Structures are given as C-alpha cells and as structure tokens.
Amino acid sequence: MLNFVTLQPSLLLGFIDKIGMMFIQANAKINLSFAILGKLPNGYHRIESITQSIDLADFLFFEKAKKTQLTGSYICADTDNLISKAQKVLEEESGRKLPCHIHLQKVIPISAGLGGGSADAAATLIAINEIYKLNFPKNKLAEIGVKVGADVPFFIFGGTCKVGGVGEEVVPIKRKSPKFYVIARPHKRLETKMMYGLNDKTGKNFLKLAGEICPSVKKVYNFFKKFRPKELGLSGSGPSLFCGVKSYELAKKIIKGLNDLDGDVFLCRPQKEGIKILSPVTHKSSH
C-alpha cells in the first residue's frame, strides 16, 4: 500500500472556524540516531537520540465542553490512552477540570516507532493550554509531558532536536536535512515495552531485534542501502525504517522498488515543528 503525505488543511478551515474548534496537526517523528545508555531503577531507560519531525501527521479537533468526550479513530473505550492521560495530568497540574470534546483523525500507524501516541498527547497539552488560557510556557508543558510519556517533551518542541535522559532533555539543533524521507513500515506491530524488554535481556540494538522479529525490516534496510542515502535507519523501536534523499526523482525510484512490501510506504518531508496549530480558538464560551 502506497501513501503519499499530502496535507490540505485549508479545505477544512472554513468549517472549523465557523464552529469554533481548534484544529491541530500532530507530526510524527523519526529517530535519526538512537542509543540506549542504560536502565534506571524506576524501569525507564536513559537514551540519546537525534529526533526529527516529519509531515506524516494525525489531526485533532478540540472544543471546550461541559463534559469530556473523545471520538474518532483508535480511541480506547476506557482511559488507557495518551490523550486522556495528557488531559488528566494537565488537570492535576492546573488544579481544575478542563473538559473538552476531542476528535482524533488517526493517520500515523500505531506501534510503528513514529511516535503517534506521544504526538497526540503533546497536541492535547498544547490545545487545552490554549483553549483554557492556562498560559503554561513550552518548557512547563514539556515538564508535564514527560509524566505522560517519555517522547512527549520532544513533540512539544519538534523540529530537529537532541534528546537525552529518559526523553525530558530536549535541545533544538540546526542541521541540514534531506528534502525527502521515504518511510517504509512493514505490517508488524512492535510494542515499545516489549522491545525494551528484549534489549534488556539480549543487549541487542533495536535494528537487530526488529530484523529478527520481522524479516521485512532487514530486507527493506538492505534495499535502502543500495541507494547510498544521506540518512538511513530504524525509527525508535521499529518496525518503520527511513531513507533520506535529496531529490523527488530518487524518492520515486525507491518507492517503486517497494511495491511488493507487505506494509505502508510514505513520502514525507522534514518539519520545523512537532505540533502545528492550523486553526486557533475562535469562539467565546462561558464554560
């Protein structure tokens, strides 16, 4: 299945503005480099990574409400999802209830190493902070975000960042990125917790582990190598792989060679932000 990432939010903005919703684009990420430095007593792992936002994205709609309601694709029936967790942690931090209607349009594949859940959580923190005028700065939202998930602080800042600690140390950096990334995601879900557990037991890195569990990972990696890309690797714990190239023509050639992949292929571009507000709050509410 071939997916080209084409964002046309302008088609929806007229509708969004009329009903007073906040419309957010939550960009995925790839880990240009990733190393596990050790495990802490609390079970978290110290990591070091260069992380990059890309324009593969989920879309979220937020509106003040009398009671919280979550709708859309891949919303859990209970509260075991990062959107709900982010809202709850923000309520605890602000000392007040922050009810919203939240609608998720899911595009980023689940358990793919692309950070979709964490991106949605970061979008929730940013949107509710704006809607309720909590006035928390980015640094504070990142501090709150790490209580939701280790990847969340990166998405608060986005762009290109050096990430350390358990994910709470985020430093924006400048670097020249390829114009395009070809992302190949084999149809095999690799749960992050499971992959870290296997790393603890075997000492093997995620690329080797993912290749052993999912043969397509090794196959795609070797295929990408033939093109001598500027950047190549596994994103997070996988199974998604990325290949950074400088031209659209080369990207098309690579994509053509992935026609037999049992999975999804995305053509993406690097982004300067993790969370993009496409439509601001336009309504006045007494809630």
Q: Angle between the 206-213 and 192-202 helix axes, to the nearest 10 degrees?
A: 110
Burial class of residue 91 in the structure, from the number of CB atoms within 10 Å of its CB (0-12 exposed, 13-18 middle, 19+ buried): middle
Can you give the pTM of this predicted structure? 0.89
Q: What is the pLDDT of residue 42?
A: 87
- Domain spanning 180-268: which superfamily? GHMP kinase, C-terminal domain (3.30.70.890)
Q: What is the pLDDT of residue 279?
A: 80
Class of domain 2-174+272-279: alpha beta
Q: What is the pLDDT of residue 43?
A: 86
Between CA 178 and CA 21 the distance in angstroms is: 34
Q: What is the pLDDT of residue 38?
A: 93
Q: Is 176 a catalytic residue?
A: no
Mean pLDDT by 10 residues, the chain (287 residues): 43 45 94 95 93 97 94 64 96 97 94 95 97 96 96 98 97 95 95 93 96 96 96 97 97 95 96 92 48
Q: What is the pLDDT of residue 27?
A: 98
Q: Is 17 a catalytic residue?
A: no
Q: Which of 55, 58, 120, 151 is catalytic?
A: 151
Q: Angle between the 82-94 and 138-145 helix axes, to the nearest 10 degrees?
A: 120
What residue ranges of the chain are covered by domains with CATH 3.30.230.10? 2-174+272-279
Q: Which of 29, 64, 85, 276 is catalytic?
A: 29
Q: What is the pLDDT of residue 282?
A: 53
Q: What is the pLDDT of residue 208?
A: 97
